[in-house]
Structure 1
Amino acid sequence: MRLFGLAAVVAATSLFAPGVALAQKSYGPGASDTEIKVGNFVPYSGPASAYGIVGQVQSAYVKMLNEKGGINGRKINFISYDDAYSPPKAVEQTRKLVEGDEVLFLYHTLGTPSNTAVMKYLNQKKVPQLMLSSGGTRFGDDPKTYPWTMPFNPPYQAEGRIYAKWIMATYPNAKIAVLVANDDYGKDIYKGVKDGFGAKTSMIISEATYDITDPTIDSQMAKLKASGADLFLNLSTPKFAALAIRKMGELGWKPVHVLNNVSSSVGAVIKPAGMEYAQDAITANYVKDPTDPTWKNDPGVKEWDAFLEKYMPGADRSNGLLLYSYGAGQTLEYILRQAGDNLTRENIMKVATSLKGYAPASLLPGITMNTSPTDHFPIEQMQLMRFKGDRWEMFGDVLEARVTN
């Protein structure tokens, strides 16, 4: 009996030994011994359907992971719905993912309007809203109020500050004309520009806005040229950025041209507009351009190329969203591997807010992902680039892309 009693004490004690305690499995909704459910929405249809490729890359990346055995023996069930870039539809799809599909968390959902529409609901439900495909500053600048939300992209306001500070340092006497979208995105990045200029906002002598429904921006561009500005700050979305670049050429207007990141795609914007009109344009980026020979022998880009060959044959490699989305897929894999067998929503968030120097293959050299419970912006660095010939060329140092001074 004494031997039995001793054995029982040893056994009971061993249950609380650190090594055993760490080995215990913990599951939240959507997680089990065999599966991890991850939710997503992107616009597969509607006015922003070109961004549907982001969801397609995520789905293909998950397929690759599952064919390799999944994550820690569990297959990922990536459930991606179409929100048609409509906030009401995004709300509907998000409720379906959380209450119907019971996903563990949402990942890389796309668009500032749609993510804004569901942010409060997801935080009330304590469901992680991770690595949003948006640089909306609101998604990371208030982690106390929205502790379950985290963007992937650098914040738009920080990008705007980078342009302002570069202009003041390089062209301190510039007369600036601004074209900006009349929407949440435009207001966000333009606020960063004005904050960056501070007392020097008087350098802006003319500005013009457009609505997404406008058929052309000919009158806006004519107004900006007539102002006598010698620096053009092009804060427009891809379609209108291309129209603006082409119109510059048609007008024979040749100011210093600063082009925002969302419209810096060579394949989607600059080629259609006319490469000759975009020469010497300046932008800030954080993702490698796979069409640039600089990355021809880069190990990460070669892996991405092999991934496309097998899982997305025929994909347009000049579309910058492909490598961007691949990096987000790698980040999903990294977070799930770090979470191990503790697949609760709380631990997923703990891992996501503890990134230290992580660099997926898509990021430019010197740029890494770093987070904390009080810093929900994973990427806060950008690299200035100048358009030469048919590609962007890096120059200068990697710059901090922070929202505050």
Structure 2
Amino acid sequence: MLAMDRRALLAGSASSALALLAPRAARADDMTGVSATEIKIGSTTSLSGPVSALGVQARCQDAFFRMINESGGIAGRKITYIYYDDGFSPPKTLEQVRRLLEQDQVSFLFNMLGTAPNSAVVKYVNAKKVPHLFLSVNGDKWGNYKENPWTMGFAPSARIESQIYTKYMLQQKPDAKIAILYQNDDLGKDYVGGVRDVLGSDFDKRVTAIAHEAADPTVDSQLVSLRASGADMLLSGTTAKFVAQSIRKAYDLQWKATHFIASGGASITGVLIPAGPERAVGVISSAYVKDASDPAWASDPGIGDYLAFMKKYFPDGNPHESYNTYAYTVAKVLMQVLTQCDGHFSRENIMKQASNLKDMQVPTMLPGIKVNTSPTNYHPLRQVQLQRFDGTGWKRFGNIIEGADI
């Protein structure tokens, strides 16, 4: 009887040990959201709220995945893309991401919109070891592979962008005074940080920076205060709605400062036309994706494929809307990641392949701009080209600028 008890005890101990080990083994090869016929992808976006114009990106990507499915899917699996509206409200984002992971059981999260919304879920997602890929954000922190190894941004960092703007302005006017309108979050603070990087100890003497909140109805009062600083350069380090307002108000104030705007607010149809194209003449931004409305790309094969996609799969979308070109471009990069998975779609391998992109050239990106990632580089894009609005379209000028070189 004693021997049997000992055997039972040993068997129970072994079972307990296996029970402890089993979850670790499952996590190492976590195939949640993947079956023999399907890969589930999740996202949140702003179909309502202060930046609802950007919600079109998810709709465009939904159409892109339908195109992929019609052509056979990826490694014989169809893509099921589930995206929910969070209204650009961080508590709602967390609610919707929990729904995606715990109820819908998606494999990974893709191109989620917004700094504050993503900040609300990043710890939760990383604790669950779910790939949180190619976020639609510009913050520098989204490349922090040490703190958040399952999270990766996509676009060039706002900090790099503002460094480039400041360098360019100082080349034109070495003693320039600078005014910064920034959204009071990580995105806006990166724009301030980039200017500080360049100016160093001169920052406080030459810069007037005023914040606004994402929920503010307007930024008119901030523009009036910034105008009083007498600055030669205005940097609108904020989101689309407020970029449009800053363009309009600066014009109404007859402020002749050189106006730089966040690349995320450079949409002609979503920002410049609402602001008034005549008010936006001379505004400068940066680009890494081709402008489908630019005659320079009329015979470009990459833009041709994009326009054909829009006509067939997303006819309600505006093919000249930069948000759509961007959405298509990011989806192309995701397809490369899934192709590199070679049929093995564990969460671990998806993340491994996302951090192993080498000199990828996407046909809708500007010539010379390449996607590169590694286990110690979670900033896929570091290159831009400056562009100036002439009242009808963006005109690029200067060379491709590598962020690491500035």
TM range (shorter): 0.7 to 0.9
TM-score, reference length from structure 1? 0.88
Cross-structure match for 1:227? 229
CA distance in 1, matches of 2:119, 2:292: 31
TM norm structure 2: 0.88
Aligned pairs for 1:5-404 within 5 A: 28-140=31-143, 142-202=144-204, 204-402=206-404
Q: Is the 8 A contact 1:176 1:203 kept in 2?
A: no
Partners of 2:400 and 2:244 in 1: how far apart? 27
Query: 1:307: Cα distance to partner?
Result: 0.7
Say if 1:77 and 1:255 are closer, same or farther in 2 by CA, change over 3 A. Answer: same
User: 1:219 & 1:90 partners in 2: Cα distance?
Assistant: 30
Q: 1: distance between equivalents of 2:87 and 2:221? A: 30
The separation in 2 between residues aligned to 1:321 and 1:309, in whole angstroms, is: 16
Distance 2:90 2:216 in 1: 21
C-alpha displacement of 1:27: 7.0
Query: Mind listing any 5+ residue stretches in structure 2 that lack a counterpart?
Result: 1-28
Per-residue deviation, residues 162-181 of structure 1 (Å, max 9, x unmatched): 11222222321112222222
Shift of 1:202: 4.5
C-alpha distance in structure 2 between counterparts of 1:98 and 1:215, whole Å: 33
CA distance in 1, matches of 2:94, 2:213: 24
Give per-residue Cα distances to partners, 1:43-101, cap 9 Å, x unaligned. Answer: 22333322221111111111111111111211111122222222222222222222222
Q: AA paired with 2:169? A: I
Letter in 1 for 2:316: G
Number of aligned residue pairs: 378
Contact 1:160 1:196 in 2 (8 A): no
Quick one: percent identity of the two aligned structures? 44
Using the alignment, how far apart are the partners of 1:393 and 1:232 within structure 2?
20
Runs of 4+ in structure 1 over 4 Å off: none
Gaps of 5+ in 1: 1-25
Contact preservation (8 Å) 2:158, 2:262 = no
Mark the CA change 1:275 to 1:44 in structure 2 (over 3 Å): closer, same or farther. closer
Cα-Cα RMSD: 1.9
